[in-house]
Amino acid sequence: MVLIPEGKYTLGLQPADILPQFLSDRTSGKSSRPQQNISLPGFYLDQYETTYGDFLMFKPSAKYENGIATEPVRGVSWYEADAYCLWLGKRLPTEFEWEKAARGTDGRLFAWGDEFHRENANFGKAVSPGGRFKKDRSLLNVYDLNGNVSEWTSNWYLPYPGSTFKSESFGKNFKVIRGGAINRREHGFSKEFALLGYRHYAPPALRAWDTGFRCARSVG
């Protein structure tokens, strides 16, 4: 695990960071606002995403498409991810913790900076073992935050402090998912889905082919 020190960081996105079509009421773009500085206590975060091999030690009966132990596990529900972390004496990170670990202290939009470079992270058609994409590493030394698989967090999908945006999806029906992921859509790829400040969400029982997780632990 990597120690993420206490202190302030930039939460959320500016309107200029997102294309107008991602600021409609039918997307979660507006929920990533207002941008603000918040402070968090220190915590630990797994340096890499939880692998299939890791998960099998917790749930030996789990089925998997290819069964490659070194690849990040995906197709697990929020409940399974939460249970795995608790089994290890850890927990799922909050979405605020996830974003701080990803964006560091300078509020960058991607792990490597503010300009999008698709080749810097795994946005291809298949997952890869953790750490293969060396530029997909945050300033705080956490890998695969922009690509590979998206990740469950502990939070329900709710508005940010100070937000005036209203959504029927807010409440205790959806959990927040963070980070970009491998992409199989035929109509193309948009960098908005990979922005470190962009919020995705899904029902906690969902098992998605592009979603996995990593664990966190409080300091002390």
At residue 132, does pLDDT exceed 80?
yes
Between the CA of residue 107 and those of 17, 34, 36, 114, what are the distances in Å? 12, 14, 10, 9
> What does the pLDDT average to over 27-48?
87
Does residue 215 carry a pLDDT above 90? yes
pLDDT tens track for 95-124? 999 999 999 989 999 999 999 998 999 998
pLDDT tens digits, one per residue of 64-102: 766 689 999 999 999 999 999 999 999 999 999 999 999
- How far is the CA of 38 from the CAs of 9, 11, 12, 123, 213, in angstroms? 6, 7, 10, 30, 23
pLDDT of residue 127: 92
pLDDT score at 99? 95
The pLDDT, as a whole number, for residue 187 is 43
Whether the per-residue pLDDT at 26 is higher than 60: the answer is no
Domains defined along the chain, listed by start: 2-218 (3.90.1580.10)
- CA-nearest of 196, 190, 41, 15 to 107 is 196
Query: Residue 18 has what pLDDT?
Result: 65
Average pLDDT, the chain: 89
Residue located via tokens 């402090």: 161
Considering only CA atoms, which of 151, 214, 199, 189 is closest in space to residue 35? 199
Burial of 14 (0-12, 13-18, 19+ CB in 10 A): middle
* Secondary element (H or E) of residue 217: strand 216-218
The predicted structure's pLDDT at residue 14: 81
**Mean pLDDT computed over 149-173:** 93
